[in-house]
Structure 1
């Protein structure tokens, strides 16, 4: 299960049985989330791992 926590809001859970379970942390990742949508920050090569900064979730 992937959980998203935002201060002052109820946690939101997503099933871990989807492709998101293959994402990994990197301080300067090659992708980022906008809500539950994932966007590449640059071209990602075939067989390259998709990474994002787990700590990069900020309130707007």
Structure 2
């Protein structure tokens, strides 16, 4: 079986496109996880602040 250079180049190009798509998906998922972590930290901080300061409300 003889592999032509143009077929090899095309296959490498397809592989590259697939790997870039996987990387983009991984970046998106990581961003969502990090955003959720920031929201959780904000919610926890607000709950702590509110529980401390709520007792001072008239």
**What TM-score, normalized by structure 2, do the two folds share?**
0.15
Q: Which has the higher helix share?
A: 2
Q: Which has the higher strand share?
A: 1
Structure showing greater Rg? 2
Bigger relative contact order, structure 1 or 2 (CA pairs below 8 A, ≥6 apart): 1
**What TM-score, normalized by structure 1, do the two folds share?**
0.15
